[in-house]
Amino acid sequence: MLLQRTLSKSDFQLARSCALKLHWRENGLPDNRAFNPYLQLLADGGYMVEALARAMYAGGTMLESSGNATADAARTLELLREDNITLYQATFLAGRRLVRTDIIEKRGNIVRLIEVKAKSFDGAEHASSLQSGGAGVFRSKVKGNAILSPWIPKFEDLTYQVLVIERALPGVTVQPFLLLVDKSKRSALDNLPSLFALVRHEHADGSTRLLSADFLGSDDELQKLDLLTEVDASAEVASLRETVDTAATLFETQLDAPFATLTPPLGPHCGDCEFRTEPIAESGFAQCWGTLAAVAPHALGLFRVSSVSDTDGTSIVTALAREGKASLFDIPEARLSKKDGSVGPVAERQLRQLRHSRAGTTWVSATLRDKLQGLTYPMHFIDFEVSRLALPYHAKMRPYGQVAFQWSCHTVDALGATPRHTEWLNIEHAWPNMAFWQSLRAVIGDSDCVLTWSPYEQGRMNELKTEHEHFMDRDATLIEWVDGLKGRIFDLHNCAVNDFYHPGMGGRTSVKVVLDALWKSDDAMRDQYATWTDASVSVSSLVDPYHALPALEIAGVVQDVREGTGAMRAYEAMMYGVEKTDVEAKAKWRSLLLQYCKLDTLSMVLIFEHWRRTYTQRYPEE
Ligand code: SF4
């Protein structure tokens, strides 16, 4: 019999987050995660981890998918007649349940199932916990030792595979293991990407997707790349068997179910549903929400909407939807207060959004003037770009360790002065973090005022402070400088949350959102931008500078960098990609990176200046 639809392990995971998502996937509706650059970057790292894992469990047979699951499963069973065999990407089919396993090792009647995950854990802490009688790092320390929520999907995935293999291979004993990236280990090799052969597929829109990776290193290099740790997951799988089996049985019955028989569980989680795609009318989101999908402004756009409940504890979004409502303005203000009538800082921001969106007015706090006037010139507006990969670029780094590869700074020397721009971008193959810091220090000094748009920059310097001793002798100057940074960093994002509101911001507060909201209506901002730049980029009120950033054609593909993940991908392409020896292509990647990071810090100055103009008009000095 030809199976129309099967429940793969990724289908199972998707359905666990929302059963309707499985329905939309089965019916081929567009999914915005397929083009999510951050998820793509993670997927790329995952391919390299899998290639390293196959090198660790060497000598296996790779089973490429033929596109016919039934034939692939039959081939797997045929090979498993052997007593001793290792298979990569083996296919198992049991009823409508389908899994492709990363690695299995069959030794007689025992099948070791090894699921490779690019997720990191602390292997040393886990081992230490188990040795001292604890439950390990995947479980709560309180009574019952429940599996911690971030790990549940990983163990459920493994449990689903165990259940399918047991049905497909009656009589065998399946021993489940996770093979995880171990952040308590450090790489002993430099230039790690050169040890992998990457095969990429290019889409028509110019984006690329990694199709496969192979480890090319020697046995010696494999030993030095000891970054993965195998974890026995038998106890976790045993505890999840019943839950997973029950859920899988339900999802199997829903594979062919018509939409009319399903009830969308509408709630705040719908805000970032992968089936909320454009054009909205053709999306799964639109079908789940019906006429409420197009309501604007939508209740889902409220700042931290998941924190708001109805009187019975139901999420306010769910409660409104039951009444046939979904407008931001349908949210009762009373629901934003605590039981004692007080209003916390999150609710204050929510109330501001409701009131000023309804009135179409901007709001500025009476204290913003004091906050900004308390800052002293020169002021340095800074932004960092940092990359993290499961398998790190440089020797002595831990998995997902930071590579600080770029900073941008706009310095304003005095009130009304034109901002001066400085920048740094790594092009060397050595670990760059100390050069990053030294070049930054040369610009922002030891005592000047530093402005950022989040705690991110402080966090990155704190990490450098603690990590640098793995690479070199302790640098007391660095430690002292980073400690001193705490007292001189001013986070503008706090002002975007607590001291300012523009209806164009809605529930969002990123520098790009705030700039976009102000750009359309602030002639003075556009004039400043034109004056401070060479105005080679359009300054139309309709297109803000982020959207106007020019793309470049590199090796025949149009590329752009408009957000942080794009910057990470561009850096990876410039330093380690197929064009790494192409001087012209490298120069173009460099140009894209520089123009993007420069705009982030220039935007911060433009917003700072807008705020100064606004409070001066609203609260003229007496
Ligand atoms: S819109 Fe909501 S109910 Fe519909 S698939 Fe997405 S998350 Fe599920």
Q: What value does the mean pLDDT of the chain take?
A: 90
Spacing of C-alpha 590 from chain mean position: 23
How many angstroms is it from 21 CA to the middle of ligand 1?
A: 6
Calpha distance 154→178 (Å, rounded):
9
Residue-wise pLDDT for 153-189, tens only, equals 999 999 999 999 999 999 999 999 999 999 999 999 9
The number of the ligand 1 atom at minimal distance from the alpha carbon of 264 is: 3
- pLDDT tens digits, 486-521: 999 999 999 999 999 999 999 999 999 999 999 988
The Cβ-side half-sphere exposure at 252, using a 13 Å CA radius, reads 14
pLDDT in tens, 534-575: 765 557 777 777 776 666 666 556 666 667 777 887 888 788
* Domain definitions of the chain by residue range: 9-254, 278-361, 369-492
Contact in structure between 430 and 486 (CB atoms under 8 Å): no
Cα(269)–Cα(300) distance, integer angstroms: 9
Compute the distance from residue 132 Cα to the ligand 1 centre, in Å.
44
Confidence (pTM): 0.89
List phi, psi (to 5°) of 315: -55, 140
Evaluate: CB of 21 within 6 angstroms of ligand 1. yes
- In whole angstroms, give the CA distance from residue 176 to residue 173: 10
518 vs 364: CA distance, rounded Å: 13
Output the residue whose Cα is nearest ligand 1's atom 2: 270
Go through the chain and tell me how many residues it has: 622
Write out the DSSP string of 314-352.
-BHHHHHHHTT--BGGGS-GGGGS-TTS---HHHHHHHH
CB 121 within 8 A of CB 137: yes
202 falls in which pLDDT band (50, 70, 90)?
low
Q: In a 3-state reduction of DSSP, which class is residue 386?
A: strand
Q: Percentage of residues in the chain with pLDDT exceeding 70? A: 91
Q: Whose CA is nearest to atom 7 of ligand 1?
A: 270
